[in-house]
Amino acid sequence: MAEEKKLKISNTLLPTESMKVIAESIGIAQLSEETCQSLTEEVSYRIKELAQDALKYMHHGKRKKLTTVDIDCALKLKNVEPLYGFHAQEFIPFRYASGGGRELHFYEEKEVDLSDIINTPLPRVPLDVCLKAHWLSIEGVQPAIPENPPPAPKEQQKVESTEPLKVIKPGQEEEGQAKGKGQGAAATDGKGKDKKKSLLDGGVMKLKPRTTHELSVEQQLYYKEITEACVGSCEAKRAEALQSIATDPGLYQMLPRFSTFISEGVRVNVVQNNLALLIYLMRMVKALMDNPTLYLEKYLHELIPAVVTCIVSRQLCLRPDVDNHWALRDFAARLMAQICKNFSTTTNNIQSRITKTFTKSWLDDKTPWTTRYGCIAGLAELGHDVIKTLIIQRLQIEGERIRTVLEGPVVSNIDKIGADHVQSLLLKHCAPVVAKIRSPPDNQESYKTDYGYLGPMLCTHVVKARAQAAMQAQQVNRTTLTITQPRPTLTISQSPQTSRAPSIIKVPSSITLPMQTLVSARPSTPTQPSPPATKFIMMSSASGSSSTQQPRPTLTISQSPQSSQPSTSPSIFKVPSSITLPMQTLLTRPSTPTQSSPSPTNYIVMSSSSGSSSTQQVITLRTTPCGTGSTSPVTTTVASIQPIVKLVSTSQTAPSSTVTGSTQKYIVVSLPSASESKAQSSNNSLQQHSPK
Amino acid sequence: MAAVPEPPAAQSEAPASAAASAPSLASVSVSIPVPIPVPVPVPVPALAATPSPTPSPTPVPTPSPTPTPAPGPGPAPSPAPSPSSTPSPTLVPKVEPNESPAENHKPGPVPAPAAGPGPAPSPELPDKQTLLAVLQFLKKNHFKEAEEILRKEANLQESLDESLLRAAGQRGSDSVHQPDVSSVLSAYSNEGDPSLYEEYYTGLKGFIETALDAFKAELSTLLYPVFVHLYLELVYNEHEREARHFFHKYHGDQEGYYHDDLRVLAGLSKKEHMQGNETVLDFRTSKFVLRISRDSYQCLKRHLQERHNNQIWNIVQEHLFIDVFDGMPRSKQQIEVTSGGMAGEAKREANKTKVFFGLLKEPEIELPLDDEDEEGENEEGKPKKKKPKKDSLGAKSKKQDPNAPPQNRIPLPELKDSDKLDKIMIMKEATKRVKLGPDCLPSICFYTFLNAYQGLTAVDFTDDSSLIAGGFADSTVRVWSVTPKKLRSVKGATDLSLIDKESEDVLERIMDEKTACEFKMLLGHGGPVYGTSFSPDRNYLLSSSEDGTVRLWSLQTFTCLVGYKGHNYPVWDTQFSPYGYYFISGGHDRVARLWVTDHYQPLRIFSGHLSDVTCTRFHPNSNYVVTGSADRTIRLWDVLNGNCVRILTGHKGPIHSLVFSPNGRYLASGATDGRILLWDIGHGLLVGELKGHTDTVYALKFSRDGEILASGSMDHTVKMWDTVKAFEDLETDDFSTATGHINLPDNSQELLLGSYMTKSTPVIGLHFTRRNLLLAAGAYNPQ
């Protein structure tokens, strides 16, 4: 393997074109082919030599990554003046460009306005080196503390629980290979060996490590403290305990105990109708799910029944008419949805099994209202598709049932409350979906024919939902956006036009723009003067991978949706930022509504420093699905970076209804530091909801 | 702590004051018995302060375009020796006559240590010519034995001979390339048909493949050097295309551990490249050493003679040193174990010298120990305490180790009062030491450097574990106190003059409370700091850097005292002698230098490595130093006479960590290949291999009693190994010593006692406290 690698290395020569380009760049026009040839050979050799020397510095610097500083040192070793200006550890300032049949990597030299630099507040001083001591091992045993890696990494837990056979597989393959070799080398001897080996193979397959987990005294104490705090009366302690469960890396060993604790606890407290304890236990489940070092798959058989119980149980509290057990059902339903999302696979089929369970008990006529509520909540949390296919189909029947309770002869107060709750639940979840599947003229009558008793109410809800979506669309769509690269602020201001023009992207000096979704029609002037900053890459979500580079950075986007279609599809913008400038943006949405996304509007802004080694931050901004008008209709949930998001309205806002064009809004998003890793943030970003 | 009575303000930059600050040390070198001053023999590479006008002791034995560091007195600019220091160098040359002048050439594969073959030979040319003629005659008539003996006797200038031989050969078939390239490479000039080279190689390969199984393994070691030299010859003769073709066709045959070198060679395509390339020079100037049994050798010889394969034969003659031994041919595994060096294995003669690996006798110190100790621990059972005390004191100090060097073999500094106090502390602590073993593993306390931004390059602990020093890529050295006692520097001169010198707590009074803090930063280096080392008395700190200097810092004033200049290239490592006063440094210039703190020039220059000296360590008895190199060999040097007494091959990558066992008998070494090798110093034998790490091993440390070896690596783990088991019933009989039939047990898994992973922190420093608590250090490296 190494040989192949080396082969490649030794063959590599710089292309002669490079020599020509470089020669041109320093003013030598005609370079003969031969000269180029011998130059590339020489230069390639020298570069290889340098790289080999630089490697020494890397080894002695006790690093795994070669840095520009190593190259500088290697140059110094050869008595060559080092290349100055390449001192960034990560960021290599080369840009790629193609055009005119040539592909180039060039060093981008920006024009920098000095006053900008002077006026920019100084970046934070990096923290100084400090020394921190912890126990890596105590008499041969590694303590499970946050400073140490988790005893079993999550990946391994996952592999162990989902594919127990895979753990042994590499060994088997080796065995297989050995077998092959054995046959090749000594055919006569081979058969006897093979038999033994296959026996061995079988043995390995059956062997499952049977280890009893013995908790150390400290772990037992911890378990006791945590469980007591979780179900105890002190809220502060509970918060601390839950925090510990959600973050501590060493809980792997205790996981079986916790899951048993929860399932037993639910069993007992459901019987006793102890609502408070059930809530506490569900919060424990939530905390366990939140712990990034735990993989719960092995314990789902205990957790799911507990959670489902909390969703659909006939009675969860002592006074069903007064206590708000509905909240517990909602919370548990969200947990269930999260479990489905995280752990449902084609083998365990959790989601479909859960869906079936809910549907079955919902369909039963005798099901009490509490359980009915739980079933619907559980289904509704599973997503729009489930709502569309399962709930909306039954709206008519369900509406009838509600009507008999609410309008018919008084049966019992409890039933009435239950029916009331079911009604509002249905309306809450169905409205956004209906808004999406039906086209606007919302007519009470047609709703009534389609959805029966609930029709008229649903209609008003849908209208509200639409209005809210449209308002948010207005607010953002009618904007002019200015991105200034070196500044950690972004300004979005709404342009004064009220007309709904097709969207436009105006790019000062644009190269090819492969953004099909953005239809340019009419340029609008930026309302803010844009300083000469750099460029950015833009990605539209519809086309996915298209990206553009622009040498000049000013971007003005002004777009508005077709009035008929309140669009909900997200748009993604990538904006390059150098690492030291942590900041990004918020943009608008494209004009073509393509997908049905769960909540009314998504704004996804990705900022990244371009270049391969860059980090990316993803910020997700979601509008609240509720239609109630408020002055700040945008709540933000941001994955792990915690940006500061401000929504400033400078003039009076028109809250709930359709927007008059005169409002100006500045949304300022800034990130404190760019240190978060790309993977983490990008994974989380699309999944986070703001829990209400 | 009784030392440093002088006002420390005076200790600013001049080395003279450093010398003055340790008057007892300086007087030691005076006390050497001085024999008749013999004129110093030229090849001994350790000329300390002799102002030699010629750059003869340069480490690179042949003229190379890279500027060789000249340790002459001329270049020593900024903290230049003040005139007051001139008397001190006169002390040092007196050490020289102590050496045995008998050695007139160094053992080891580097021939022609003194003069390059270029300028020197003209006067003695006629003699050489005759010699050559005789040699050629012998060769022609296949008088191998005689030829070998003659060769050996003329060994002194062997490479010279070779080049002359070639030159003589060329003179007949007039060479075109002769004049314009350095004569070192001229041996490669050849008018042979380039297309035949492949045949030569395949011929040899075919022969080896059809040879008897017993010989096959040994003979196949021949392939690599022959391959390299054939390739170099092709390149030298400007058969570029053929060379490339040849390389790509056959480089896959070569062993994995040669890939680094092959990668360098692969880049070569022009004759001009060869001149500046160090790897090529290594191949040319040093013979590739092969150890082959007599039977295999005969077999090879017969083949080459039958086939009249002169090309191969020439290479074997000129560039290879075949160390023939009598006995069983070695198996593939046995060869594999010790191969991997850049220039093959070590010659057998290289490891014959006796090494005094025993420990020096501990000085007898009156122990006020008993009373204090009893006060402290009266409750905890007396009998228990008595026993270990006897062990630790009795075993070491009363009996003289038969393998130990004479007490005054090299002059050592006298013990000061503070040192004695420290020794007492050590003994006291030793009584409380945890007895380690497979059932009783040490606890590990990990010191993580946070916010180091990948810049931590070196770590050292004081012996009493009170201070940690870190060297950083940003040229700083930082010292932390890990005990509650804060670091304080001494007051300024004016304040000091006010102090009552007679008062009892004068040592306390000279410290400036205002400067107390947990860590101090030492600024002075001009490049990344690659090595740090505390002096045993904790008064000084050494640091070596990319800027080519080694600096001595005072831990009383936290200022730089001396900058030792000598290595003109990066200095990769430095370490204080366990007795203080001496220190060793090694760097990119391929030499290790032995210094004393009060001289600005090195006392010894240990040259012989074929690549960078990557790490340097003192033997516990201070009579030897060991150096590891990027040429994948380890060398042990005698401090007394500067000779290389052991060459240890077996690593397959550059060596980055070395440590002696506390009893001085064993050596552990770690390399980039992630393996740890264990060596018996007395026999110069490989005795164990510890596999488990997946990346470079940067830190190794034996526990205080030597039962456990701890290793730290780039793969974020600390591992502990059972050395008691590893060293028990070793087969160190003379036979295996002589032939290198080493069979290593593959028991790494059994020896591994524990593996502890950090979150994302490469382990680059390890230290056992006096009570056998393991301290580890590294910089957190956020992914």
- Give the pLDDT confidence score for residue B548 in this predicted structure: 92
**Which A-chain residues 131-150 have CB contacts (< 8 A) with chain B?**
131-140, 142, 147-149
Interface test with B, best of A72, A137, A680 (most B CBs within 10 A): A137
- Which residue from B minimizes the CA distance to A4? B252
**Which A-chain residues 641-680 have CB contacts (< 8 A) with chain B?**
675, 677
- Nearest-by-Cβ selection for B758 from A126, A140, A149: A149
- Which residue from A minimizes the CA distance to B254? A3
DSSP code at position B5: -
- Interchain contact, A3 vs B251, CB within 8 Å: yes
Q: Which residues of A touch B721 (CB under 8 A)?
A: none
Q: Tell me the CA distances in angstroms from A156 to A166, A167, A294, A301, B120, one per residue in order.
A: 11, 9, 10, 20, 67
B534 strand-pairing partners: B541
B248-287 pLDDT, tens digit each: 888 877 877 787 788 888 877 777 777 777 778 778 778 8
Q: Report the C-alpha gap between B402 and B360 in whole angstroms.
A: 10
Question: The tokens of B123 are what?
Answer: 């006067």
Indicate the SS3 state at residue A464: helix
Amino acid identity for residue B285 in this structure: T
> pLDDT at residue B376 above 70?
no
Q: How far is B213 from chain A (nearest CA, A)?
A: 15
- Which residue from B minimizes the CA distance to A135? B445
- Which residue from A minimizes the CA distance to B712? A62
Q: How far is B615 from chain A (nearest CA, A)?
A: 10
Question: The tokens of A689 are what?
Answer: 């909801």
Q: Counting Cβ atoms within 10 Å, is residue A115 exposed (0-12), middle (13-18) or buried (19+)?
A: exposed
- Give the pLDDT confidence score for residue B198 in this predicted structure: 81
Cβ neighbours, 10 Å, residue B507:
15
- Give the pLDDT confidence score for residue A195 in this predicted structure: 41
- Give the pLDDT confidence score for residue B126 in this predicted structure: 54
- Nearest-by-Cβ selection for B756 from A3, A11, A142: A142
- Interchain contact, A137 vs B441, CB within 8 Å: yes
B59 touches B69 (CB < 8 A):
yes
Q: Report the C-alpha gap between A681 and A674 in whole angstroms.
A: 11
Q: Report the C-alpha gap between A358 and A128 in whole angstroms.
A: 56
A638 touches A608 (CB < 8 A):
no
Interface test with A, best of B247, B758, B773, B775 (most A CBs within 10 A): B758
CA atoms within 13 A on the CB side of A242: 20
> pLDDT at residue B715 above 80?
yes
Average pLDDT, chain A: 65
Indicate the SS3 state at residue B669: strand
Indicate the SS3 state at residue A478: coil
- The answer to whether A181 contacts chain B (CB < 8 Å) is no
Q: Report the C-alpha gap between B390 and B412 in whole angstroms.
A: 27
- Interchain contact, A126 vs B453, CB within 8 Å: yes
Pairing relation of β-strands A602-608 and A571-575? parallel
Q: Which residues of B touch A675 (CB under 8 A)?
A: 782
Cα A29 to chain centroid, rounded: 51
> pLDDT at residue A429 above 50?
yes
**Which A-chain residues 37-76 have CB contacts (< 8 A) with chain B?**
41-42, 44-45, 48-49, 52, 56-57, 59-65, 67, 69, 73
A650-671 pLDDT, tens digit each: 444 344 443 334 333 433 344 4
- Nearest-by-Cβ selection for A131 from B263, B447, B672: B447
Cα A224 to chain centroid, rounded: 34
- What band does B521 get if pLDDT is binned at 50, 70 and 90? very high
- The answer to whether A407 contacts chain B (CB < 8 Å) is no
- Interchain contact, A62 vs B472, CB within 8 Å: no
B320 strand-pairing partners: B288
- Nearest-by-Cβ selection for A136 from B612, B672, B718: B718
Interface test with A, best of B64, B269, B486, B772 (most A CBs within 10 A): B269
End-to-end CA distance of chain A: 55
Q: Tell me the CA distances in angstroms from A122 to A126, A395, A488, one per residue in order.
A: 11, 60, 12
Q: Which residues of B touch A134 (CB under 8 A)?
A: 445-446, 448
Q: Report the C-alpha gap between B613 and B148 in whole angstroms.
A: 32
Cβ neighbours, 10 Å, residue A239:
12
- Interchain contact, A6 vs B263, CB within 8 Å: yes
% of chain B at pLDDT higher than 90: 26
Q: Which residues of B touch A131 (CB under 8 A)?
A: 447-450, 468, 480, 482, 519
- Interchain contact, A59 vs B754, CB within 8 Å: no
- What band does A473 get if pLDDT is binned at 50, 70 and 90? low
> pLDDT at residue B676 above 80?
yes
- Give the pLDDT confidence score for residue A161 in this predicted structure: 63
- Interchain contact, A73 vs B570, CB within 8 Å: yes
Which range in B5-14, B217-226, B722-731 is most confidently predicted, on average pLDDT? B217-226
Which are the contacts of A340, defined by CB distance < 8 A and separation ≥ 6? A350, A351, A354, A382
- Interchain contact, A135 vs B273, CB within 8 Å: no
- The answer to whether A2 contacts chain B (CB < 8 Å) is yes
Q: Which residues of A touch B450 (CB under 8 A)?
A: 127, 129-132
B558-578 pLDDT, tens digit each: 999 999 998 889 999 999 999
- Nearest-by-Cβ selection for B759 from A57, A65, A148: A148
> pLDDT at residue A546 above 80?
no
Residue with tokens 């493949």: B209
- Interchain contact, B714 vs A73, CB within 8 Å: no
Interface test with B, best of A62, A73, A127 (most B CBs within 10 A): A62
- Interchain contact, A129 vs B714, CB within 8 Å: no
DSSP code string of B728-765 = TT----HHHHHH--------HHHHEEEEEE-SS----E
B112-146 pLDDT, tens digit each: 333 333 343 444 455 666 777 777 777 777 777 77
B377-429 pLDDT, tens digit each: 444 444 444 444 444 444 444 566 778 888 888 888 888 888 888 888 888 88
- Nearest-by-Cβ selection for B457 from A60, A135, A142: A60
B634 strand-pairing partners: B628, B648
Question: Which ipTM was obtained for this model?
Answer: 0.74
End-to-end CA distance of chain B: 44
Please write down the HEC assignment for all residues of B86-114: CHHHHHHHHHHHHCCCCCCCCCCCCCCCC
B65-121 pLDDT, tens digit each: 434 343 433 333 333 333 333 333 333 333 333 333 333 333 333 333 333 333 434
Q: Report the C-alpha gap between A300 and B593 in whole angstroms.
A: 65
B51 touches B120 (CB < 8 A):
no
- The answer to whether A321 contacts chain B (CB < 8 Å) is no
Angle between helices A444-451 and A455-477 (to 10 degrees): 120
Q: Tell me the CA distances in angstroms from B353 to B325, B356, B357, B684, one per residue in order.
A: 18, 10, 12, 10
User: Average pLDDT, stretch A289-312?
Assistant: 85
> pLDDT at residue A500 above 80?
no
Q: Tell me the CA distances in angstroms from A94 to A71, A83, A610, B689, one per residue in order.
A: 16, 14, 10, 46
Q: Report the C-alpha gap between A276 and A265 in whole angstroms.
A: 12
Amino acid identity for residue B228 in this structure: V
Q: How far is B450 from chain A (nearest CA, A)?
A: 5
- Which residue from A minimizes the CA distance to B544? A60
User: Average pLDDT, stretch B463-471?
Assistant: 92
- Interchain contact, A131 vs B468, CB within 8 Å: yes
- Interchain contact, A9 vs B448, CB within 8 Å: no
Q: Which residues of A touch B452 (CB under 8 A)?
A: 129
- What band does A212 get if pLDDT is binned at 50, 70 and 90? low
